[in-house]
Amino acid sequence: RGGKGERAEGDRRCCGPVHIKNPHLDSMEENVLYHLDLGKKTHNLPAMFGDIKLVCVGSSPNRMRAFAQFMHKQLGLVGEMGRTWQTSTQGWTGALHQCKYRAALDRTHGMGTPSISIMLQEELIKLLHHAKCRDVTIIRISTSGGLGIEAGSVVITDMAVDNSFQPRFELVVLGDMVVRSTELDKDLVGELPACSKEIPDLPTLVGHTMCTYDFYKGQGRLDRALCSFSSEKKLEYLKRAYDASMRNIETESSVFAALCGLCGQCFKARVREVVCTALLDRLEGDQIRGVPAAAPAPHRSLRPKAPGAEPSGGKHA
C-alpha cells in the first residue's frame, strides 16, 4: 500500500538498524546462513538486501510463489521477478522493499515451530542484521483452520496463544524450560484491517490465534492415524477456544511472535504481525478440501482448475 517512502521522523516504527546482541557473532569473520545458501563473507548482503523494509514469510512454497507473482503484477513490474537462487527446491519467501518489489528468496519458513525458528531467528534475522537493514517489518502470511468463521476469512492476529490458551511460548534452552512472551505489534494490528477494506468480498477480522505443536492431535482432529478422544470432547475443546476469543489455529504464530519480540529487546526490527486465511471452519469439520472461493487472490490462483482436479491449494507443497 501507499508509496509513502520513508516513515516520518519520530514515528514509533522508525526503529533504526538491526543490531543483534550476540558477542559470539561479532568475533566470527564468516557467518554461514546455511539454510538460505548465503554467507556474510561470500555474498555482499548489504548490496543484495540492505534496502528491505518489509519481509513477508510463509510456510508453503507454492503459496509464497503465488504471492510473489501476485505482488510483482500488482506493483506493475516488468521483467524478471526479483532475485532467485536456483539451488533450492523448497519454495520462496517474498521480500518487499517499501512498496517496490525487491527480492524473492527461494526459501519458506516451513511448517511448525522447529522449522520456523531455524529459518526465522537463526537465519532471516541474522541476514537482516548482516545486510544492515533498517526499520524492518516482518509479517507472517499463511493459512489456518478457522474457529466459528467463514472459510476464506482472513484473521489478523491480536494475540498468539498456546494450546492451553496462554500468551506464551515455552522452549528448553540448555536443559532449562524458558517461557517467552508472544506479544505482537499493536499498531500494526490496528492498521491492517483498513487494508482489507480496499479489497471487495474479503471477510477480515481481528482475533486470537492458537498455535499448536502439530496439525493433527494438537488441533484436536479426528481424522488421524490414531485417535483417543471423542467428537464431543473435540468440539467441547474447540468451543472453549472460541469462547476465549480464538478465531483460528495454526502452528507457527507463537514462536514467530516470541522470536521477533525477543529480538525487539536486543535489536530494533520488532514490528511484527501474523495474518492467516482460514481454509475451513474447524467447528464444522477437519478435512481441508481445497482453497475456499473467498480466499485472497494469491491463494485463489492455486485452486483446482478443472472439476475433479487435485486440489493443489489444499496440499502444502
Interface ranges with ligand URA (CB under 6 A): 143-145, 215, 219, 249-251, 279, 288
d(CA 280, CA 99): 31
CB of 195 within 8 A of CB of 212?
Answer: no
Residue 158 binds ligand R2B, judged by CB under 6 A: no
User: Sign of torsion, CA 280 281 284 287?
Assistant: positive
- Minimum CB separation of residue 269 from ligand R2B in Å reads 22
Q: Does 143 bind ligand R2B (CB under 6 A)?
A: yes
Q: Which is nearer to ligand R2B, 12 or 289 (CB)?
A: 289
106 binds ligand R2B (CB under 6 A): no
Task: Look up residue 140 and give its three cell numbers.
Answer: 507472517
Note every long-range contact of 185-190, with CB atoms under 8 Å and residues 24 or more positions apart, other chains counting.
Answer: 185/137, 185/270, 185/271, 185/272, 185/273, 186/158, 187/12, 187/13, 187/271, 188/137, 188/139, 188/271, 188/272, 188/273, 189/156, 189/157, 189/158, 189/273
Residue among 251, 254, 277, 301 that touches ligand R2B (CB under 6 A): 251
**Could you tell which of ligand R2B, ligand URA, none binds residue 157, using a CB distance below 5 to 8 A set by kind?**
none
> Which one of 18, 33, 59, 269 is in contact with ligand R2B (CB under 6 A)?
59
CB of 143 to ligand URA, least distance (A): 5
Least CB distance to ligand URA at residue 36 (A): 24
- Which does residue 249 touch among ligand URA, ligand R2B, none (CB within 5 to 8 A, set by kind)? ligand URA
Q: What is the number of H-type helices and E-type strands within the chain?
A: 9, 12
Among 215, 242, 256, 267, binds ligand R2B (CB under 6 A): 215
